[in-house]
Structure formats: C-alpha cells, structure tokens
Amino acid sequence: MEMNQDKYSDLTKGYDQDSDKRGNIPAESVFEEVLPNVIAAKSNELFALARKSSLWTLSFGLACCAIEMMSAHMSHHDIDRFGIVTWPSPRQSDVMIVAGTVVKKMADPIKRLYEQMPEPKWVIAMGACATNGGPYYRSYSVVMGVDHLIPVDVYVPGCPPRPEALMYGIMELQDKISSDAKNRANLISKKHLNNEN
Amino acid sequence: MKISENINESGSTVDMLINMGPQHPSTHGVFRLVLQLDGELIVDAEPHIGYLHRGSEKLCETESYSQVVTLFDRLDYVANLNSELAYCMAVEKLLELQIPDRAWYIRTILCELNRISSHMLFYGVYGLDVGAMTPVLYGFRERERIQSLFEQVTGARMMHNYIRIGGVKEDTPPEFNENLHAVVLELEKAIEECDELLTQNEAFLARTKNISCLTIEDAIDFGVTGPILRSTGLVEDVRISEPYGIYDRFDFGIPIGSTGDCWDRYYIRMQEMRESLSIIKQAIKQMEPGEVQAKMRRIVRPPKGECFVRTESPRGDLGVFLVSDGSQNPYRVKVRAPSFANLQAIKHMLEGVYVADAVVILGSLDIVLGEVDR
Amino acid sequence: MTWEAIGWYVIGAFGLFIFLSITVMFLTWIERKFLARIQQRMGPMRVGPHGTLQPIADVIKLITKEDILPSWTDKPIYWLAPLAIFIPAIAIWVTIPFSETLVLQNLDLGLLYIAAISVLSVLGLVMAGWGSANKYSMLGGLRAVGQLISYEIPFIMAILGVAILSQSLSLIDIVNDQSAIANIIVQPLGFLIFLAAGLAELGRTPFDIHHAESEVVGGPFVEYSGAHWAIIQLAEYVNTFAIAALIAILFLGGWSWPSMPFTGITNDFLSLVWFLIKIYAVILLIFWIRGTFPRLRIDQLMSFGWKVLVPVSFINIVFTAIIRFYNLHWSILTVISLISIGIIFYLIYKTPQKSRKKDSIRIISAKDAVNNPPKNYGDINVR
Amino acid sequence: MEDQANKTTALNAASQKLLGILPSILNQPTLQYRTNIDELTVNLPGDLVHTICKILKTHTDTAFDYLTCLSVVDYEDILEINYHLFSYTKRHKMVLKCELKSTDPTISSISNIWRAANWFEREAHDLFGVLFEDHPSLDRLLLPDDFEGNPGLKSYPLHEYKEW
C-alpha cells in the first residue's frame, strides 16, 4: 500500500502508533483508576451513552462540504435533535468534521487543531476530498485524505455528501462509541480476572 | 507566547499581533488574517490565503473540455451554476456556437435562482457575523427550497454539472414550471420576511452603517467588482457593460449604493434578490419549448486560439481566460475570480477600525475561499 | 449562633446548591428548545422524551472529558478563575428569597450585599482571560472588565430607585411593599434600565461582547475544557437565573403581587409557583432577545452605558426621590417615566449619523444603463 | 496564431473607436495591433509594459481604470503574460501581451499603477516563477513557503493515479 511519498507524509509522525493494536478503543479515563474495576466497566458504558448523546462539533469548514454541513445544522435537517451543536473552540469540542479538501498548507493547522481537542475525541472525514483526495487526486497541493494526518473514525462518501448522509455518518459514530465502550468493558473485566488469577 | 512579551521594559505598551484563522468561526472557510492591534483598534492587517489551493487550473489542463465543468462546479461552491456558465460560455465563444433559446432561458433562470441562494447564504452568515443567530436559519430555509428545485432539474443539490458546452444537459422535468412558480412565490414572501428581521434592526444599523466606506476610485483600483463596487455608487454590472446571453430581453434593475459602507453592500444584495426574481418571472413568461442543446460533435475540439469571457456571478465579475491548442484538453484555463480581487482590498479597508468591525467587513465582502484559492 | 442553627444553614445551603444546579441544567434545555422554536427547528429530541435528558448527558460528558492545562498558562490563576466566577454566582443566592420564609438568610442590607457580590464576578473573568495566556482570552477578559464595571453604575442606580420607593434594602420588605402595585407600573423606566444593565452584567445578547463567538471565539473561556468549563457555564446560567429572580422581586412584585385570595399552606405554595412563573417569563424574555438581536460593538456598548443609561438612571432616581419626598401619587411617576422612555427612544431613533431610510440604495434600469456608460464615476444619468 | 486572423472580427463600437485612436496615443510605431474574436490585442516587448500601462490608465481617451485579469500562459520556451484591461467609463477593452523567455522571466511590476495587480503578480510568481521587479512584497501567495518548484509550469509533473 503506497502512501503519499512526499515530505508531508512525515506529518503523521508523533501520533499514537499503537492505535492500530488497541483497535480504536478510547484511552483510559481518570475514572478507571479511581473506581473499582467492575464499577468502572459499567460506568464506562454510562459515559459512552452520555458522550454519544452530546457530540459537540468543532465549527470548522474547509470547502464545499462545509455548506452541506451547515445545511445539516439548519432548520430543515437540524442535527441539534441529536444533541449536536457546533462550538468555535477546539477545547470544548468532541468531534471534528473535516468537511472539504485538505491541502498541504492546511495540514499543520489541522493537526494542531486535533491535538488541541481534549480526549475523548473523534474525527469524521466528510466527502470524497477528505477521504482520499476526491476529484483532486492528481493535484500537487492536496493531501490524499485527511487520514494521512489524523486518525479518522467515520468516512462519509459523496461529493458533497447530502446532509442526510452526514447524519447517517454521525449515527454510525454513535454506534461506534457505544460498541467501543462495550469492548473496553470486556477488556477491563478480562484484565481484572487475569489479575485475580 | 507569554502575554508579558507585549509589555516592554519601560512599561509602555506595544502592539499585539493576533491571528484570525485559518480556523475561526467567522473567516468563512480557511482564511487567515494577521491583525496588529493597539487595544481594540487595528493598526495593520495582513491577509494570508492559499489554505484551499487545490490546483484546479492545472488540473483543468489534464481533463477534456467537457470534464472541466465539474472542476468549475467546485470553484465557487455557493453559486455553482454561475461558474459553470462562465466556463461554458468561454468554450462556446471559441467554437462560435449558437445556443438554442430554450437552453439560454433555462440557464438564466437557474443562474438567477443560484444568485438568490448565494445571497441568502450571505444574508444568514452576515447575521452570524454581527452576532444575530436567527437569520442564518431563515437564509438556509430558503436555500433548501432552491436546492431541492435544483435537485429536480439537475439531479444534485450542489455540484450540478448541468450547464454543458452547447446548452444544458437535458430539458427540465414536466413539473418544473409548477414547482418554479411555487418557489418564486415563497421566495417573494421570504425576502420580505428576512428584510424585516434584520435590515432595520437598531443594533444592526449601528454595526454596519458608515463602516469601511470605500470610495469609487479605491474600489476600481483594487479591482473590486460586484455588489461591493455597486455599493460605492458606480453604475456597473457585466450584464449591462458587456451584455451576454439573453439579458437584453429582460427589464430589470441594478441596485446602486451611495456610501459604500457595509450596510449598502448588504442591502444591495437584498435588492438584487428582488431583481433576480423579476428576471425569473419574465423568463418564465417568455420561455417556449424547443431544443436545449446545440448541434455539435460529441468530442469538443475548439480551434487554436484564446478568448476571455466575463460574467456577472453573485460575487462580481467572474472571468475565464481559455487558451486552446486544438487538442481535446484546454491548454490553459485561468479563472479571474471576483472574490480574489475583492479580498485584496481588505488590507485597505481594515486600517484603523475595531476588531469587531474586521469581522463585519470581511463578512460584507462575501468571499468564497474555493474561488479565491482555486 | 447555636449548632442547630448552623446545621440548618448547612442543610439549607446544600439544598439551595442542589436546587440551583438542577434548575440551571434544565435552563440550558429550555434555552435550546426556545431558540429552536424561534428558529423553526425542533431542538434536542432524541435524548429522553423531547430531549429532556440532554443537559444530563452534556454534564456527564463534560465532567468525564479530559481537562487540558495548556503549558504556557499562569497555572494558579488559570485554575482559580472558574471558582472566582462560580462562588459569587452562588453567594448571591444567600439573600434572594423564594417566599417570606423560604430564604437562607434575609439580610436587612440585602440589596447592598447583592450589588457588592455581583461586582466580584469581574475578577473571575479577568483572571480567566489573563491566566489562559491566549490573546483571544486576553481581549475577552479586558472587554469584560470594561463592560461589567461600566454597567455596575446603572445597575446599582436602578436598584436604588426601587430602594427609595420601598424605603428598605431588604428584599422581603421590597416584595411586601409591592403587594398593592408592582414597581414595573410605577417605574417602567427603572425596569428598562435594570433589564439592560442586567443583560450587560450577564453578558447576554446584545451585550455578549466579551465572549462573542464570531469575534473572540468564546473570550476568556476559550482555553477551558471539561469540568472547569462546565463550572463556568453553570455559573453563567446561575447568574441568569439570579438576574431574572431579581427582576421578578424588584419590579414584578415577587410572590405578593397580585395578592392571592388564599391563606395558609395553599397560599404559600401558590405564591411560590407564581413567583417561579414570573422568573421563567423573564428568562424567556432574555432568551427571546438572544434569538433576535445582533451584538453591539465595544465602543457602542460603552457609549450606550455612559451616555444613555447613566444619565437616565440619575433622572430616574431624582424623580423617584421627589415623588417620595412630597408624597405625591405614584401615577405621576409612571407618567414621568413613560415620557422619558418616549424621549429616549425618539432620540435613539433619530441618531443623526445613521440615515435610517433605505433610499441610499437606488435602482437603475438596466435597459437605460446599457446605452449610457457613466461619464464620470458616480454619475447616474438614468432613471 | 494565423487562423485567428481569419475569424470574423466582432469588435464592438467602443473598441473600434479605440483601435482608431490607439496608435496615436501610444506613439510606438513598432507595435502590431490585432483583433482576436472581440478583443483588441497588442504584443509588447517587456521593457515597454510599464510605460504603456501608465499611458493607458492615465490618458483620458483610453481611461483603462480596471485591470480585469493578469494571467500567465506557459508555452514551454516562452512565458506569455496577458493583461486584460477594461474601462468603466468608455466600456472598451483590450489585451496586452508580453512574451518572456522562460529561462529569464523578468518583467517590471505594474502594481504601482493598478493596485489590483498586486495579488495577481504574486500568484504568477508563485505558480510560474515570473519575477516582477519593484513589486512591494513578492512572496508566495497560494502555496506554503517551503514549497519547491512552480507547479503552474507545464514541466511540473502531476501525481500519477495509482490503483491500490
């Protein structure tokens, strides 16, 4: 699998290289250290329930898809119904919707924005450009997909995706959050058992 | 970046550099503005663009003539049909094609509708910039109506690829006229509603009246076009200075401002929506059934040569410079983007205003970064 | 003070804290639903019936989120700022009564206490602005200082007007004094001044300048995340609730106007309900203003404060004092207030530097303009 | 570009008039005036660009107040710079063309005549490597500062599409 060969590919350095091994399970929270393991396993599911019900997105539009992302927030589609509001500062957001083409000049700011978001955080790559370069796959200045820079949880195809497609992507993310919490709960109880034995 | 850096040893203050963007809620995309502040006043501003430079012009050289339309869709992603029209007109000028009447009527109706939807986006986002959160929802409600009409005709909400070289892709569906009538009636009401919601609001007037008054000479010198140029008081519109298409068949008005401030720019756009509606209504009456595509070869090979075409997009003078070497692909495509030239003037406009005004002025330019950076 | 009394105070304070936290959580839900109503949306729908569990989800999420400490912050100040915002917001509730008996401690100088405490929140904002070491925070913090200090004056002046009418600084006395006629009818001018100054103290639209999203991206709080940010947000809504309660007490007659024809426990209960209805009405008014108004600029805010609200609040006090001194009928004050309101609105409407008319835009016929290029710039030689 | 000359010329009335008076205004006997579809085209040597632009803007009969577009076309061995001009008061238009050697693409800047040229020239410098003398700040505009090469040129390769 050949990736982008130029020097911008080294922007991916310094990321959690173990994330593949962990299988996208969110990092440990403080509560797991404080609470007894059994409670922690259950509380994790409760937290996942809360997190998936209140996904605050970073208001951050790059290109064409940003217009459809805005449409999704507006009266007709209104994703506030799922508890999703946009927030201007990365410090208070949970989800980064990368809506549009990521060019090399924008690579560093995007990486920094992702780093500024507090854990747990998720990324939705919206549209063909953010997924793999889309119509600009031959361009000299476009990063071939935002997953060269930051880990992506959900890809929403389309050019641009309809607001309904974005909504479906968000629901997939919600499913992912709760199933991840269940996996984590299994993992913790296994660890617990191993410690006892 | 300690704040104490900003206070030098003698205790006097120095200016503060503040970085607006690339991610800032009111830069309308990825635009970076480095402001030098003395308290709340802007001393100097330096715009930085290129955060969305996708190399479209270079990519156009590798696609065939009819494929380039898709790339033009994505330039001005708020008024897609207007950019498609500019490109197709350039190729047709090289080919010396005669476009059937009905195709021109369809193009005109859709482009004017797109102008309304673009101005509706401006209306909403401008409301957000001055701090009112409701207008954006009203603006997008109307956009949604127009987009669903586009979807019936072109099959897509945003990236239509409908205006083709030599006409349009296909004739309108049979229920189009009926739906168009309904949308026009709804838009008429909605424009009045939006007007009442924001235009005469006391706080809105205070924020926009007499802010960043641009003189005609400065505006022309910076190459500023479109509603911003008209707000300074110059009677100018590509539809009247270099008429194209069938605009000479309609009786419509050009709104002209007098002070060139932000309120004039805003209200000119509101009036343009009304004028666009009147063009659409006249076009519906005049339109007759007929061909929608000129007789031409499937593979477009314009003769060797070059041409420059100007059209009036919602943001101003959208020009396409097309060089052909007689092959299947264009040799060079250069887009003269209105937002690009309008944005140049921002350094001049921002001198000596408040930080809060910077947001209002940038909003009043109504830039689309896809077009600025290409 | 006996241990028993201290015990009751502790229980009361704890109960008040719980009550405020829950109320405020649901205020966020009410705000989202109400704004959605204005904006032709539905608002939160999926989390619980009609989204009622939405605030709980938000709070749990915020508490369990990572709390980032940026490396360049001024750490003690950064950590203390949320507390410095939150403690005054809660402390103000010590003396705000819900009914004649339902109050933690009714102070004889209650209004003075409230005026004194409400200034303290400025400290928290500027600490947050400075401690974050972020330029947006800094701008927001400094804006907050300017704004809140300036609007303290009309805020206190409007309170004084009420105090002169009731001849007391105790909130319960003020409410009981209004059992015949509410202050909003006697002093409509004072009500408007207090509403404007209160909105500015809260930092709500059209005075949300220090945390303007489109300019300074959240102002002093731009760097806060997780639980600290939740505390700041909680404090903001507690303050909103407090200002609404103060308006209800000072101007809308609290629980005693119009007086209930019941006695005993029914009366107590109904008057509490009636009081809460008044508070929520004021809160909805605040949200309504948020949904419709743009934001002012910092210099316009200052000039509105110093050139309009401060002089007008002095006028209000002087006339109130005259009426009170000569024991004239209250309706004279109403008439004077209404006349001054009319004059102020007329003056604002007629501000000379803004032409209100839409005729700065002219419409030129395209058919004429095609054939007549302008001879000089600015020439309009057609229609 | 021979076949262009054979085309039916469609200069509008204002541009016809311009064609009549232009030689006397510019007063450069070596210049060739051509019509290309509906535009009046003049080829200029590089050293004349600044003076002629100044005349075209300031002269009351030409009054080209609006620089519509400045573009560069790469013909491998030469770089052709196109200045599209338009006058709001006279409503005529013309194109100035200037050919530069691609080994030494240097030309004087016109950003002190039309301020609109500032960014157009920076863009041309960024994408094509044209050097504009006396430009106030000739930095990269669209591409990041550490980008190597001038991607607008025909010699700059595009990515090849790889299936994976």
Q: Which residues of chain D are within 8 Å of residue B243 when distances are taken between CB atoms?
A: none
**Closest-CA distance of chain C to residue B211, Å:** 11
Q: Minimal CA–CA distance to C231: which of C27, C120, C79, C118?
A: C79
Cα dihedral C172, C178, C180, C182, rounded to 10, equals: -150
pLDDT at C41 over 80: yes
Map out the domains of chain D with their CATH numbers. Answer: 4-102 (3.30.460.80)
**Neighboring chains of B (3 or more beta-carbon pairs < 8 A):** A, C, D
Helices C226-250 and C3-38 pack at an angle, to 10 degrees, of 90
Q: Which residues of chain A are within 8 Å of residue B62 when distances are taken between CB atoms?
A: 138
Q: Is residue B282 part of a domain?
A: yes
**Closest-CA distance of chain B to residue C185, Å:** 26
Q: Minimal CA–CA distance to B130: which of A74, C296, C305?
A: C296
State whether A2 and D151 contact (CB < 8 Å). no
pLDDT at D5 over 50: no
Using 50, 70 and 90 to split pLDDT, how confident is the model at A10? very low
Averaged pLDDT, C361-365:
79
Averaged pLDDT, B141-165:
89
pLDDT at B140 over 60: yes
**Residues on C contacting D at a C-beta cutoff of 8 Å:** 373-377
- Residue with token string 């498609």: B84
pLDDT at B197 over 50: yes
For residue A154, what are the β-bridge partners?
A: A124
Which residues neighbour B216 within 8 Å (Cβ) at sequence distance 6 or greater?
A: B232, B233, B234, B260, C377, C378
Alpha-carbon distance B103 to B89, whole Å? 12
Q: Minimal CA–CA distance to A14: which of A109, A95, A115?
A: A115
Q: What is the pLDDT of residues C322-345, one digit of tens each?
A: 888 888 888 888 888 888 888 888
Q: Which residues of chain A are within 8 Å of residue C134 when distances are taken between CB atoms?
A: none
Length of chain B: 374
Model pLDDT, residue C96: 86
pLDDT at B8 over 70: no
Averaged pLDDT, B160-167:
88
Q: Which residues of chain C are within 8 Å of residue D88 when distances are taken between CB atoms?
A: 373-374, 377
Window 106-125 of D, Cβ < 8 Å to A: none
Alpha-carbon distance C352 to C344, whole Å? 14
Q: How far is CA C98 from CA C166, C268, D127, in A?
A: 19, 10, 70
**Closest-CA distance of chain D to residue C373, Å:** 6
Q: Minimal CA–CA distance to B269: which of B127, B80, B95?
A: B127
Q: Are B117 and B256 in contact (CB under 8 A)?
A: no
Model pLDDT, residue A39: 57
CA B239, chain centre distance (Å)? 15
Model pLDDT, residue A54: 87
Model pLDDT, residue C379: 65
Phi, psi of D103 (to 5 degrees): -75, -30
**Closest-CA distance of chain D to residue A10, Å:** 15
Q: Minimal CA–CA distance to C278: which of C306, C248, C238?
A: C248
Alpha-carbon distance B104 to B121, whole Å? 25
Q: Does B369 touch chain A (CB under 8 A)?
A: yes
Find the CB nearest D164 among A1, A105, A139. A1
Model pLDDT, residue A4: 42
Write the ipTM: 0.86
The amino acid present at A66, given as its one-letter code, is A
Which residues neighbour B9 within 8 Å (Cβ) at sequence distance 6 or greater?
A: none
Q: Does D90 touch chain C (CB under 8 A)?
A: yes
Q: What is the pLDDT of residues D9-18, one digit of tens each?
A: 567 777 778 8
Alpha-carbon distance B231 to B234, whole Å? 7
Q: Does D129 touch chain A (CB under 8 A)?
A: no
Model pLDDT, residue A14: 45
pLDDT at A113 over 80: yes
Helices A64-73 and A163-196 pack at an angle, to 10 degrees, of 80
Alpha-carbon distance B212 to C117, whole Å? 41
Nearest-Å Rg of the Cα atoms of chain C is 24
Model pLDDT, residue A16: 47
**Residues on D contacting B at a C-beta cutoff of 8 Å:** 1, 3-4, 7, 36-37, 39, 65-69, 71-74, 82, 84, 86, 88, 91, 93, 95, 114-116, 118-119, 127, 140-144, 151-152, 154, 156, 158
Q: Are C372 and B236 in contact (CB under 8 A)?
A: no
For residues C217 and B307, which has the higher predicted lDDT (pLDDT)? B307
Q: What is the pLDDT of residues C49-88, one digit of tens each?
A: 888 888 888 888 888 888 888 888 888 888 888 888 888 8
Alpha-carbon distance A189 to A194, whole Å? 9
The terminus-to-terminus CA distance of chain A in angstroms comes to: 42
pLDDT at A15 over 50: no
pLDDT at A17 over 70: no
Antiparallel, parallel or unpaired: β B167-168 and B163-164: antiparallel
Q: Hey, what are B80's tokens? A: 């897609």
Q: How far is CA A23 from CA A118, A142, C176, in A?
A: 20, 28, 66
Model pLDDT, residue B115: 92
For residue B268, the enclosing domain spans 16-373
Of chain B, the percentage scoring pLDDT greater than 90 comes to 13
Model pLDDT, residue D164: 44
Query: What's chain A's average pLDDT?
Result: 77
Q: What is the pLDDT of residues A124-176, one digit of tens each?
A: 999 888 888 888 888 888 888 888 888 888 999 888 898 999 999 999 999 88
State whether C218 and A89 contact (CB < 8 Å). yes
pLDDT at B366 over 50: yes
Model pLDDT, residue D19: 79
Alpha-carbon distance D139 to C344, whole Å? 54
**Closest-CA distance of chain A to residue C36, Å:** 8
Domain ranges of chain C: 1-64, 73-260+270-354
Chain pair A-C, CB pairs under 8 angstroms = 91
**Closest-CA distance of chain D to residue B30, Å:** 12
Q: Hey, what are C167's tokens? A: 């001849």
Q: Which residues of chain B are within 8 Å of residue C38 when distances are taken between CB atoms?
A: 134
Q: What is the pLDDT of residues C251-283, one digit of tens each?
A: 888 887 777 777 777 877 888 888 888 899 999
| 3-class DSSP assignment, residue B149 | helix
Antiparallel, parallel or unpaired: β A57-58 and A86-87: parallel
Model pLDDT, residue B295: 84
Q: Hey, what are B232's tokens? A: 């300074």
Q: Does C58 touch chain A (CB under 8 A)?
A: yes
Q: Which residues of chain D are within 8 Å of residue A141 when distances are taken between CB atoms?
A: 143, 147, 151
Q: Does D148 touch chain A (CB under 8 A)?
A: no
Q: What is the pLDDT of residues B277-288, one digit of tens each?
A: 999 999 988 888
- Residue with token string 């704890």: C14
Q: Are C113 and C120 in contact (CB under 8 A)?
A: no
| 3-class DSSP assignment, residue B310 | strand
Query: What's chain C's average pLDDT?
Result: 84
> Which strand (E) or helix (H) includes residue A154?
strand A154-156
Find the CB nearest B264 among C205, C296, C361. C361
pTM: 0.88
Query: What's chain B's average pLDDT?
Result: 86
Phi, psi of C272 (to 5 degrees): -65, -45
Q: Is residue B1 part of a domain?
A: no
State the alpha helices, DSSP H only, in C203-329.
213-216, 226-250, 264-292, 298-303, 310-325
D19: exposed, middle or buried (Cβ count in 10 Å: 0-12, 13-18, 19+): middle
Chain pair A-B, CB pairs under 8 angstroms = 93
State whether B319 and D84 contact (CB < 8 Å). yes
Phi, psi of A26 (to 5 degrees): -60, 155
Antiparallel, parallel or unpaired: β A95-99 and A122-126: parallel
Model pLDDT, residue A65: 87
Q: What is the pLDDT of residues C140-177, one digit of tens each?
A: 888 888 888 888 889 988 888 888 888 888 888 888 88
> Which strand (E) or helix (H) includes residue B44?
strand B41-48
| 3-class DSSP assignment, residue B254 | strand
The amino acid present at A45, given as its one-letter code, is E
The count of domains in chain B is 1
Q: Hey, what are A193's tokens? A: 């058992």
The count of other CB atoms within 10 Å of the CB of residue C346 is: 9
**Closest-CA distance of chain D to residue B69, Å:** 20
Q: Are A136 and B59 in contact (CB under 8 A)?
A: yes
Alpha-carbon distance C91 to C83, whole Å? 12
Q: Which residues of chain D are within 8 Å of residue A139 when distances are taken between CB atoms?
A: 158-159
Alpha-carbon distance C53 to A112, whole Å? 33
**Closest-CA distance of chain C to residue B177, Å:** 26
State whether B137 and A74 contact (CB < 8 Å). yes
| 3-class DSSP assignment, residue A163 | helix
Q: Which residues of chain D are within 8 Å of residue C373 when distances are taken between CB atoms?
A: 88-91
Alpha-carbon distance B57 to B71, whole Å? 9
Phi, psi of D160 (to 5 degrees): -90, 140
Nearest residue on chain A to B59, alpha-carbon basis: A139
Alpha-carbon distance A152 to A111, whole Å? 12
Alpha-carbon distance B137 to C40, whole Å? 8
Averaged pLDDT, C18-42:
88
Interface test with A, best of D154, D159, D161, D163 (most A CBs within 10 A): D159
**Closest-CA distance of chain D to residue C376, Å:** 7
Find the CB nearest C356 among B37, B200, B207. B200
Phi, psi of B255 (to 5 degrees): -70, 130
The amino acid present at B108, given as its one-letter code, is T
Q: Which residues of chain A are within 8 Å of residue B121 when distances are taken between CB atoms?
A: 67
Q: What is the DSSP letter of A142?
A: B
Window 78-117 of C, Cβ < 8 Å to A: none
Using 50, 70 and 90 to split pLDDT, how confident is the model at A7? very low
Using 50, 70 and 90 to split pLDDT, how confident is the model at C208? confident
pLDDT at C118 over 80: yes
The terminus-to-terminus CA distance of chain B in angstroms comes to: 33
Antiparallel, parallel or unpaired: β D93-101 and D106-108: unpaired
Averaged pLDDT, B258-287:
89
Alpha-carbon distance C243 to C159, whole Å? 12
pLDDT at A24 over 60: no
Phi, psi of D34 (to 5 degrees): -120, 160
Q: Which residues of chain A are within 8 Å of residue B54 when distances are taken between CB atoms?
A: 63, 101, 103, 136, 139, 141-142
Q: Minimal CA–CA distance to C171: which of C91, C121, C113?
A: C113
**Neighboring chains of A (3 or more beta-carbon pairs < 8 A):** B, C, D
Nearest residue on chain C to A74, alpha-carbon basis: C41
**Closest-CA distance of chain D to residue A96, Å:** 24
CATH number for the domain harbouring residue B77: 1.10.645.10
Find the CB nearest C377 among B216, B254, B268. B216
Q: Are D61 and D122 in contact (CB under 8 A)?
A: no
B67: exposed, middle or buried (Cβ count in 10 Å: 0-12, 13-18, 19+): middle
Averaged pLDDT, C181-205:
87
The amino acid present at B109, given as its one-letter code, is I
Alpha-carbon distance C81 to C222, whole Å? 13
